Amino acid sequence: MKTIFSVLIVLVIIFNLVYMVSNSSVIAHPQTNNVESFKDFYDRFINAFNEKNIQEINKCINSEYGLFVFDNPGAFWVASHFNSFSDIMGLDGESDIGYLKVLKVNCKLQEGKPPIYDCELDKWNKQGCFLDKNSSLSISEYYKTMLEYNLADINSIETEMALAEKLGPYISYQVYSTKGYVGFYFGIIDNNWCLICIKKITPCSA
């Protein structure tokens, strides 16, 4: 009888441990269930981006947080926030951020670290489109730099900085195109892949 009782106690303990581990995994990764594959999402996004299908591009952007865009027209990065891609399409001209209105990214995606541009040699260390699955980006740091160098007024970017603090930690994937001089940053928000940030890069700009 004691043996049976002991076995029952051990089984109860094992069941509780399994339940706790399983439960903690769900809590630690609450956004990993039933999420569209990144490949399917990216294919859908890049097709819409190249066709400038605004309705479909906006479906790839979280409506609550919007989209951040970085540009370096000079020696410093300038951060901007847009509620949707429609706002970008409404910009005047096709230079700086307006370049995104006409940019097309057509290249085979391959996994790897983002390319590096060598200003002395005036070339990339590798060419193509690269997917980095361990990417991170502190959006708020760019805003802090803008304030440090008087490129913006705290009152005018206070709301954007608050959004940047919330959105930055969501970023997990980056796709960079050397031909397009552009980087796209993605993350999962509310169980959906979203485009969070775009870097429109001019290497060695000063």
pLDDT at site 204: 83
pLDDT at site 13: 40
pLDDT at site 74: 72
Give the span between the Cα atoms of 201 and 9, in whole angstroms. 62
Contact between residue 86 and residue 57 where contact means Cβ atoms under 8 Å apart:
no
* String of DSSP letters for the chain: -HHHHHHHHHHHHHHHHHHHHHHHHHHH-TT-SSPPPHHHHHHHHHHHHHHT-HHHHHHTS-TTT-EEEEE-SSSS-EEEEESSHHHHHTSSSSSGGGGGGT----S-EEESPPP-EETTTTEESS-SEEEETT----HHHHHHHHHHTTSS-HHHHHHHHHHHHHHGGGEEEEEEETTTTEEEEEEEETTEEEEEEEEE--TT--
- pLDDT tens for residues 166-177? 999 999 999 999
Side-chain half-sphere of 151: how many Cα atoms within 13 Å? 17
Q: Is the pLDDT of residue 18 over 80?
A: no
Give the span between the Cα atoms of 14 and 124, in whole angstroms. 55
Q: How many CB atoms lie within 10 A of CB 155?
A: 7
- pLDDT tens for residues 21-45? 333 333 233 345 689 999 999 999 9
Q: Is the pLDDT of residue 187 over 90?
A: yes
Contact between residue 40 and residue 77 where contact means Cβ atoms under 8 Å apart:
no
* CB within 8 Å of 96: residues ≥ 6 apart: 71, 73, 200
- pLDDT tens for residues 42-61? 999 999 999 999 999 999 99
